[in-house]
């Protein structure tokens, strides 16, 4: 199996991924081991591991308000850090897999295809799209536009009027090996439903609320996941 280098080992996603996607050829790294803001740190680890695939998970995500209150940090980690990773993957001819978000779509009509126009809904999504821009310039890459969440559903409340394509991280992890050899852009998520419907199907006890007063949630950010379904 090819050596695989993964950034962001302390992230929620990586901790779950590690349980199923793990072998002596897969190397998970935290910020001390690989600092995406330090190109020398990235290059040192690449020379040590000699990976054929770099899975870039390290990013600033929650809480969402951080991307409004600390814009500089958001830019550094999600745009500049990703750009550093891209340039070194190009230098060493390493396949790059980048974790993005379904929030890069406008969030108005739903059922977004990978080829649809983009218009991020909030600063978090803008920062992830900024990373996408760098990745798009490198042909040996795969952008995953994710709509995933932890299991069980962690919130006490769920929007009944906000439509999305949620799937649990665990369900993606089961099929992760089936997608890593792809290139281009891939929407990753589940079937279209309101957040409340998704939470109830999972057995979670949640209270339905409206999202109209919450500026951080689009009305319909659901994605067309036909490409993903064919792969799994």
Task: Return the CATH number at 112.
Answer: 3.40.50.720
What pLDDT does residue 216 have?
67
Residue 35 in any domain: the answer is yes
Predicted confidence band at 69 (pLDDT cuts at 50, 70, 90)?
Answer: very high
In a domain, 75, yes or no: yes
State pLDDT tens for residues 130-163.
999 999 999 999 999 999 998 889 889 999 999 9
Q: What is the 8-class DSSP label of residue 206?
A: -
Q: Is residue 228, in this structure, part of any structural domain at all?
A: no
Among the ranges given (51-65, 82-96, 127-141), the one the predictor scored with the smallest mean pLDDT: 51-65
The predicted pLDDT at position 30 comes to 97
Q: How many domains does the chain have?
A: 1
pTM of the model: 0.95
Tell me, yes or no, whether 153 lies in a domain.
no
Query: DSSP letter at 196?
Result: H
* 158 belongs to a structural domain: no
Q: Is residue 103 part of a domain?
A: yes
The tens digit of pLDDT for each residue in 195-231 reads: 999 999 888 899 999 987 677 678 999 999 999 999 9
CA-based nearest residue to 131, from 84, 165, 89: 84
Rounded (10°) CA dihedral 224, 126, 173, 82: 130
Question: Is 88 part of any domain?
Answer: yes
Q: How far apart are CA 187 and CA 4, in angstroms?
A: 22
Q: Is residue 226 a part of any domain in this protein?
A: no
3-state helix, strand, coil in the chain (%, to 5): 35, 20, 45
Token look-up 């990773």 returns 85
Q: How many residues does the chain have?
A: 232
pLDDT score of 63 more than 70:
yes
Q: What's the confidence (pLDDT) of residue 214?
A: 74
Domain enclosing residue 142, as ranges: 4-148+167-189
Task: Look at residues 133, 101, 63 and name the one whose alpha carbon lies nearest to residue 218.
Answer: 101
| Sequence-ordered list of residues with C-beta below 8 angstroms from that of 190, at least 6 positions apart, any chain | 147, 165, 166, 167, 171, 198, 225
What's the rounded Cα separation, in Å, for the pair 147 and 168? Answer: 9
């Amino acid at each position: 199996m090819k050596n695989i280098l993964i950034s962001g080992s302390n992230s929620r996603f990586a901790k779950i991924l590690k349980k199923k996607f793990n072998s002596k050829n897969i190397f998970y790294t935290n910020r001390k081991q690989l600092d995406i803001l330090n190109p020398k740190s990235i290059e040192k680890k690449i020379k040590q591991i000699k990976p054929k695939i770099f899975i870039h998970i390290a990013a600033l995500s929650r809480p969402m308000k951080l991307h409004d209150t600390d814009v500089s940090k958001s830019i550094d980690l999600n745009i500049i850090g990703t750009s550093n990773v891209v340039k070194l993957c190009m230098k060493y001819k390493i396949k790059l897999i980048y974790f993005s978000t379904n929030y890069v779509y406008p969030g108005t009509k739903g059922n977004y295809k990978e080829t649809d126009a983009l218009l991020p809904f909030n600063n978090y999504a803008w920062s992830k799209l900024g990373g996408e821009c760098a990745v798009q310039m490198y042909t040996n890459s795969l952008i995953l536009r994710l709509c995933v969440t932890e299991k069980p559903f962690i919130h006490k409340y769920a929007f009944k009027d906000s439509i999305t394509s949620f799937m649990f991280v665990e369900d993606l992890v089961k099929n992760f090996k089936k997608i890593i050899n792809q290139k281009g852009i891939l929407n990753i998520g589940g079937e279209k439903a309101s957040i409340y419907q998704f939470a109830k199907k999972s057995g979670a006890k949640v209270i339905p609320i409206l999202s109209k007063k919450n500026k951080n949630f689009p009305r319909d950010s659901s994605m067309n996941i036909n490409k993903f379904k064919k792969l799994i």
